[in-house]
Chain A
Amino acid sequence: MDSKAMDTSKAKEVALENMLLVTSSPHIRSNESVQRIMLDVIIALAPAIIGSVYFFGLNALKLILISVASSMVFEAIIQKIFNRPITLDDFSAIITGILIAFNLPADAPWWLPVAGSAFAIIVVKQFFGGLGANFMNPALAARAFLLSSWPSHMASFTGTRPDVVATATPLAIMKYGMGPDTAASATVAAATSASEAAGAELPTLWNMFIGSIPGAIGETSTLLLLIGAAYLLIRKVIDWKIPVFYLGTTFIMLVLLGVEAEFLSYHMLGGGLILGAFFMATDYVTTPVTPVGRIIFGIGAGILTALIRVKGGYPEGVSYSILLMNVATPLIEKFTRPRVFGEVKN
């Protein structure tokens, strides 16, 4: 649990319940800090949003707008039904909306983000008690939901140029395009991209870095995501430990699993690794608060990501590994809780 976020939501409830009381300034200040944090995240995501529109066209912008709008609408509706204070002004629904859209292919139909944000906001976030109480990252849970519900829509990626109808992501090319028996290694969700991956060529590393490659809307541009991440790190909104240990462990595990050197950089720049490491694995609510816990979280997610990518059925494993570590977070926190001085061991 993040103490800051919790305190704020509690403080806010108190503030709302005592509307007629004149309260001293700490409430207002802490109230602002949640908004401020969320606003910082939105600012940090802005370069990637602009980049996605540049690379994938107006459909990307349309999907992002639909996703954000539907997230906010669902949040308001469900809070109204549950008789909870409506907390659209904490901006968290906006971020969930952006991140859901970032996980979609650019040619996804309009209802895909709507279904995703309904699942993220209603089932994952509000059923478990709203911001601060959700046990998983809502945007990633929505991605998992969409991937198993409509695999054909979620796994067909558009190229960045308008003349390319459908292509494979670099990860899919590495997974399916290299082996002699392409079809045999194909699995359910990746099947559509697998058939396209056979024979496709990997893009240049420079294109991988700036983001001019097939993939989900918001995950392709390493450069723009890193600019946003740097902003968050400078503003001390996120802690360096999870991303650094996550990326480091993924790299080491990929080497240990025998991934050839020339593909390593593709693995590090490709898929949702950068987006996941800096913007999703750093979520306050669903990751450990203790420093050691954060390191464990990063290492665990890194091991899982590399294992899924190299040994698993899917070409991409970032979302599932973060979700699995989300679920393990209470346990990690229990074991890494710093002992209060003078506490009796039992």
Chain B
Amino acid sequence: MKLSKVFFNGVVKENPIFVQLIGMCSVLAVTTAAKNGLAMGLAVTGVLIGSNVVVSLIRKVVPNKIRIPAFIVVIATFVTIVEMFMKAYAQDLYNALGIFIPLIVVNCIILARAESFASKHGLLASAVDGLGMGVGYTLALLILSILREFLGSGSIFDIQILGPSFEPAIIFLMPPGAFILLGILIGIFNSIRNKQASKEVLQKEEAR
């Protein structure tokens, strides 16, 4: 399998947020500001790559019966490491993300990739898969959180964009606004994806 294909599979074709719609709870909760969205995305990417690599390494020594607890231990270890380092070196971010950092353990994306990809593929492919999924997740969070921060606070990455006369719509900082924006983004993303897919089909048919 080509590595670039594995990578773009995670970013576009099977984007964890826009296509697979998994791990939504923390997505809706942390995307109130662009900074938080980016940090959460990077934390998840780090855990994804780490756990994918280790799961791929131990996939042949771990018996099938205990693979789930073994994977969970690996994932929980990486999440705890990320949590410790975040607390030590980026405490503001840690405070902003709060409970959602330890909750990465139960984020379905990570176990899903360990189970469906890393436990069946080699080290390099698993690392690239983790990176691709992580980048896809981070991009989705970044887009959503930039929109929410802009509409709900009038700023992006804490930089005020619109003057004081702009009155931000608080709803976009609250759960309903997150759902509405996410729904619209999923719609746009998939209509673009569908158009490209049908284009590809057309090209293939022409090639014949």
Contacts and interface: CB of A to CB of B under 8 A. Distances in A.
Interface of A: 115, 123, 127, 145, 148-151, 153
B103 interface: no
Interface in B152-199: 167, 169-172, 174, 176, 180, 184, 187
Contacts of B176: 148
A153 B187 CA distance: 31
Contact of A148 (B167, B170, B184): B170
Contacts, number: 19
A154 to B, nearest CB: 11
A150 B174 contact: no
A150 B180 contact: no
A115 B169 contact: yes
Interface residues of B, number: 10
A149 B171 contact: yes
Contact of B169 (A123, A127, A150): A150
A149 B176 CA distance: 11
B180 A149 contact: no
A148 B174 contact: yes
Give 10 closest A-B pairs by Cβ, nearest first: A149-B169, A149-B171, A148-B171, A149-B170, A145-B171, A150-B167, A123-B180, A148-B170, A148-B174, A150-B169
Nearest to B183: A127
Contacts of A153: 167
Nearest to B172: A149
B194 to A, nearest CB: 15
A84 to B, nearest CB: 15
B170 A151 contact: yes
Contacts of A149: 169-172
A127 B170 CA distance: 22
A123 B171 CA distance: 14
Nearest to A145: B171
Taking each of A123, A148, A151, which has the highest tally of chain B beta carbons within 10 Å of its own beta carbon? Answer: A148
19 contacts: A115-B169, A123-B180, A123-B184, A127-B184, A127-B187, A145-B171, A148-B170, A148-B171, A148-B174, A148-B176, A149-B169, A149-B170, A149-B171, A149-B172, A150-B167, A150-B169, A150-B170, A151-B170, A153-B167
